[in-house]
Amino acid sequence: MEEAKKTMLSGIKPSGDLTLGSYLGAIKNWAARAEEYDCYYFMADLHAITVRQNPVDLRRRTLEQLAQYIACGLDPEKNTLFIQSHVHQHAELGWVLNCYAMFGELSRMTQFKDKSAKNADNINGGLFTYPCLMAADILLYQPDYVPVGDDQRQHVELCHAIARRFNGVYGDVFKLPEPYIPKVGARIMSLSDPTSKMSKSEEENGGTVLLMDPPETIARLFKRAVTDSETFVHYDPARKPGVSNLMTIYSAVTGKSYDEIEAEFAGQGYGVFKPAVGEAVIETLRPIREEASRLMKDKAYLEGVYRAGAEKASHIAEKTLRKVYKKVGFVAR
Q: What SS3 state is found at 189?
A: strand
Nearest-angstrom CA–CA distance, 203 and 224: 14
> 13, 28, 197, 240: which is the annotated catalytic residue?
197
13 is catalytic: no
> 13, 28, 115, 274: which is the annotated catalytic residue?
115
List beta partners, residue 79.
39
Return the amino acid letter for 226: V
Rounded (10°) angle between helices 299-328 and 270-296:
90
312 is catalytic: no
Query: DSSP letter string over 18-68?
Result: -BHHHIIIIIHHHHTTTTTEEEEEEE-HHHHTTS---HHHHHHHHHHHHHH
Rounded (10°) angle between helices 299-328 and 153-170:
40
Which one-letter DSSP state was computed for residue 108? Answer: T
CB proximity list for 284: less than 8 A, separation 6 or greater: 253
> 5, 200, 223, 327: which is the annotated catalytic residue?
200
Nearest-angstrom CA–CA distance, 118 and 114: 6
Q: Which of 44, 16, 12 is nearest to 28 (CA)?
A: 12
115 is catalytic: yes
Nearest-angstrom CA–CA distance, 208 and 22: 11
Q: Would you please indicate which residues are annotated as catalytic (active-site) residues? A: 115, 197, 200
